[in-house]
Amino acid sequence: MVLILFISFVNLINSSLGLPAMFSDSASENEIQSYDFPFVDRAGWNARTPSKKNPLTTPVPYVVIHHSYTPPACRTGCECKEAMRQMQNFHMDDRGWWDIGYNFGVGSDGVAYEGRGWTTLGAHALHFNSVSIGICLIGDWRYEVPPADQIKTAQALIASGVEQGFIQSDYKLVGHRQVRDTECPGDALFNEIKKWKHYSEYPSSAKDLLNLPILSDKVKDVMKGNSTYD
């Protein structure tokens, strides 16, 4: 009880100073979730309540890296929280999704922002959501690489996912364009993640997904046009 009160006090002080929460209060009642990098949970950026959600089977074998393109890069806590809200509003109101599509966002302020989180199925990579965690580096990274702090936090977030058992230790890292016909995550960021640990050249495009044993027959039937997602 004392620990919970202390954590609440620390997060309250940080919030009043415009700083990210040092502890996430979105974990289960019996679990205290902490990170050794700046982290803001859903409540911290005033996320809307999802209209619905499905569980994600973990640990996942893949991590998919995205860029937002728009909103543009955010460099302060206020800007990045607003960017998360903009993405959530677009995904829910314009695309009709249940929530923001990404599991996490990372800003140029070097802070990780909780999207759908570790245990909820994302909507960031069609046909590939069930086997991956989607991380969006907020900004347009076609022509320039994200700031060092943004990259560092994204990598720390992935490492934390492995440590907590949400991502397989032998996971494969891919860019969104490798599983979907898109330019995401932008040329500059895509070339950057090729240097990261666990980067995989395969799948090289969405055409390779039908040959991935990890994807279920149901997903492959949908891809072939023989079925639909319920």
Distance (Å) of CA 210 to CA 132, 181, 213, 222: 16, 14, 8, 10
Positive/negative CA dihedral, 46, 146, 61, 220: positive
Contacts of 202 (CB under 8 A, 6+ apart): 208
Three-class DSSP category at 15: helix
Confirm if 59 and 132 have CB atoms less than 8 A apart.
no
Structural domains in the chain, CATH included, are 57-223 (3.40.80.10)
pLDDT value of residue 227: 81
Prediction pTM value? 0.85
Distance of CA 72 to the CA centre of its chain: 17
Question: What is the widest separation between alpha-carbon atoms in the chain?
Answer: 56
Contacts of 217 (CB under 8 A, 6+ apart): none
pLDDT value of residue 185: 98
CA distance 132 to 104: 12
Indicate the helix (H) or strand (E) that contains 169: strand 167-175
pLDDT value of residue 33: 62
Three-class DSSP category at 60: strand
| Helices then strands, each counted (H, E), the chain | 5, 8
pLDDT value of residue 121: 98
Contacts of 206 (CB under 8 A, 6+ apart): 127, 178, 179, 180, 181
CB atoms under 10 Å from CB of 130, counted, come to: 18
Residues of the chain with pLDDT under 70: 1-33, 230
pLDDT value of residue 30: 32
pLDDT value of residue 229: 79
pLDDT one-digit tens code per residue, 46-98: 999 999 999 999 999 999 999 999 999 999 999 999 999 999 999 999 999 99
